[in-house]
Structure 1
């Protein structure tokens, strides 16, 4: 990934692949079923459904217009950063024909959502953008201090709501479902798929014993840290245990075997760095 970020040609190729993935999701899964799930491509799909304007052409016009807004209302560097994605995405969409590869609408939206999430995540990895409706949030943030994620969410919901007028409630529900799936997949890609469980263990007298037992049974499979309370004795010692999903239930059973009254609070973590 470092090579991709530092080498201009590799980075350009990586961005192009990401844009191609996004274009595939639009032309093969969203547009054929007339579902607009936010973004400039969503607006383009609405225009296609109403006036049969080619999706790629509408996307290009919208992206160029928003690119000009970014130049005048945000800054020049931002315009340059999103220039390639803004222009290349509709060009790839123009080359790639709109094809219904999946007849089932729900399955199509599910697959399309995963694909578009992968494409956006790839762009995010190299600090790139496909332009479009990512521009208005930047303008609102600069001039009004509104958080970009909030305004982008509102814009996507607004675009998705147009489905109600054009195609009905089913299309809107599918679009909303798509936004949810896309965000979830992007989050998992960004934070890693190998999720772990973290346990906060509170025990009256058994924490050192529990810690030694876990380390003895599981070794390097489990990370344990004993966190001491404050010096005045008002705080409680807590044992932090990080384990992979397969060992999670067995670790809990082991803790309760040693102390049936131990308090265990568990949660999911994406990664653990132990300083190595």
Structure 2
């Protein structure tokens, strides 16, 4: 029960963020950057139909298509978000918070991306134009990302005919910003440093320092030099990014000639990261 309540609250918060990004930043400046909300902004301008009503009608149609062609699981994941989004758009008044269009696009895209990222994180959906690409993928094996891109591209192009070239360019900018921010939220917040260390005669001291001073687990590899063929010991440790400089100083304090390779990893699960640090 607690899990269901938490899921509902997260969906509600994410949909509220999406609604705020549209009604407070993008729609007042006539930026239709894809999705059912983009269609709604275009229809509102061209035909005078309220944005929330257009989104509701489209989402109901997409829910029916999802149930018929994609099955119960996709329908259930999309149901709540599909109904809450038009409600959010109806409740939040369309108000131009910032007169500067570029500022509005930046903040609107940022808030929109955060909302969608939360939905992705809990495997929920706001429905809408995410449904047709899934149908095309299932029945015609069309790549889902390509399908989403084509749908959004068509919607963005219509900015030219309904609003003008400037709005079209801002819509493209919004799509790019959303993609960048979502990618960062998906991987950037969880990035860690994986460090590989080799030392001729101080490897045990470095290992002890990593274990005791840094409180990190260490993996030990037996390796051999490609040129000399000599056997060596290599350590691997995964760190929080903020810990890297401290570890580097500690390694150099034992052996300034040590060989260190550091690279960024997008996600780590396990002791010290998903769970608690080694005591």
Which residue is 1:146 aligned to? Answer: 142
Which residue is 2:105 aligned to? Answer: 109
Q: What 5-or-longer segments of structure 2 have no aligned partner?
A: none
Shift of the alpha carbon at 1:45? Answer: 1.5
> What's the secondary structure of 1:97's corresponding residue?
coil
Shift of the alpha carbon at 1:170? Answer: 4.0
For the Cα contact (< 8 Å) 1:206–1:259, is it kept in 2?
no
Shift of the alpha carbon at 1:115? Answer: 1.8
Shift of the alpha carbon at 1:102? Answer: 1.4
Which of 242, 245, 250 does residue 238 from structure 2 map onto? 242
Which residue is 1:211 aligned to? Answer: 207
Choose 94-103 or 51-60, whichever is displaced more.
Answer: 51-60
Which residue is 2:220 aligned to? Answer: 226
> What's the secondary structure of 2:218's corresponding residue?
strand
Which residue is 2:263 aligned to? Answer: 266
- Please say if 1:87 is aligned against 2:86: no
Instruction: Give the TM-score of the pair, scaled to structure 1.
Output: 0.80
Instruction: Give the TM-score of the pair, scaled to structure 2.
Output: 0.79
Which residue is 1:20 aligned to? Answer: 16
> What's the secondary structure of 1:100's corresponding residue?
coil
> What's the secondary structure of 1:219's corresponding residue?
coil
> 1:272 and 1:89, CA in 2 relative to 1: closer, same or farther beyond 3 A?
closer
Q: Distance in 2 between matches of 1:38 and 1:185?
A: 16
Alignment of 1:171-210 (within 5 A): 171-190=167-186, 193=189, 195-203=191-199, 206-210=202-206
For the Cα contact (< 8 Å) 2:191–2:264, is it kept in 1?
no
Q: How many residue pairs align between the two structures? A: 268
> 1:127 and 1:246, CA in 2 relative to 1: closer, same or farther beyond 3 A?
closer
Q: CA RMSD of the aligned region, Å?
A: 3.2
> What's the secondary structure of 1:37's corresponding residue?
coil
Q: What 5-or-longer segments of structure 1 have no aligned partner?
A: none
Shift of the alpha carbon at 1:52? Answer: 3.6
> 1:252 and 1:179, CA in 2 relative to 1: closer, same or farther beyond 3 A?
farther
Shift of the alpha carbon at 1:191? Answer: 5.0
> What's the secondary structure of 2:99's corresponding residue?
coil
Shift of the alpha carbon at 1:247? Answer: 3.1
Shift of the alpha carbon at 1:142? Answer: 1.1
> 1:90 and 1:255, CA in 2 relative to 1: closer, same or farther beyond 3 A?
same
Choose 147-156 or 182-191, whichever is displaced more.
Answer: 182-191
Which residue is 1:57 aligned to? Answer: 53
